Every structure is written in C-alpha cells, then in structure tokens.
Amino acid sequence: MVKLVWQKGLQFLVQDGRNHTIVVDTEKEFGGLDEGFRPMDLLLVSLAGCMGMDIVGILKKKGGKIDTFEIVVNGERAPDHPRRYTKISIAFKCEGDYKREDLLRSFELSRDKYCSVVATLKDAPKLEFVI
C-alpha cells in the first residue's frame, strides 16, 4: 500500500506502509516545484531497482564479491500524448571479484524469472479505480 497526499502545485508527499516517505513532483514549466522525483522517472527506478536487487543478491549467493555496482537507465518516449515509454535502456556496471558467467546468469534469472517489475511490464495488471 502506498498513500499520496497532495501538498502544493503538483507535488505529493508519499508514504509506503513501512514509515518511508518521498516527494514526487515535476518540472516548473509543467506547474511543479521541482522538489522531487517525477513519476515517469520512478517507473525507471522501479524497474532498475528490482533487477539490481535480484542481480546483487544472486551474484552474492554464487560467491561473487561486489565492489561497485551501478545502473543507468534511460527511457525513450513517444512524441505525442500520452507520451508512453517506447523503449527503456538499462546499463549495468559491476566491478569486483566474480565470474563473468555468474553475472550474466544472475541478470538472466532476474529478467526471465524473478523480477516482478519486468513481469508486470510484460503482462499488464488490471487497473481498478475508485473516485
């Protein structure tokens, strides 16, 4: 469960069910105050965070030692409304003491078997609204 409470402009204060809060906002040119992540950026964070956790977790279980692990994500959007993402590119960079094949296998297991966000993007959930 997450709860979003409108603050001002187009800004929302967001709480999850475990006492964390973040601010979502948008650019000033669109009426925001630019004080937090944009919703479309959070979709990229959701995807990359889910895969990143899978890969780090599996690679460690395989005995890998990770010094640094970074993910850069970019989304390409359609030019016209609703400007959906047409393509999302995710680049992983892992440094440490591990076998290359273990990293690749960890990635494949995330992409094909474990990542809940990849699976949700591939097979859209039913959306139910109450207003």
Q: Is 33 in the site for a copy of itself (CB under 8 A)?
A: no
Give the one residue of 1, 65, 79, 101 binding a copy of itself; rule: CB under 8 A.
1
Shortest CB 108 distance to a copy of itself, Å = 9
Q: Is 91 in the site for a copy of itself (CB under 8 A)?
A: yes
Give the Cα separation of 84 and 19 in Å (integer).
Answer: 31
Q: Is 3 in the site for a copy of itself (CB under 8 A)?
A: yes
Q: Contacts with a copy of itself in 54-83 (CB under 8 A)?
A: 56-57, 66, 68-77, 81-83
Q: Is 105 in the site for a copy of itself (CB under 8 A)?
A: no
Ramachandran class of 83: left when φ > 0, alpha when ψ lies in -120 to 50, beta otherwise:
left
Q: Is 16 in the site for a copy of itself (CB under 8 A)?
A: yes
Q: Is 99 in the site for a copy of itself (CB under 8 A)?
A: no
Q: CA dihedral in degrees (91, 33, 83, 44; nearest 10)?
A: 20
Contact present, 55 and 110 (Cβ < 8 Å):
yes
Contact present, 54 and 114 (Cβ < 8 Å):
yes
How many amino acids of this chain bind a copy of itself (CB under 8 A)? 87
Give the Cα separation of 31 and 47 in Å (integer).
Answer: 27
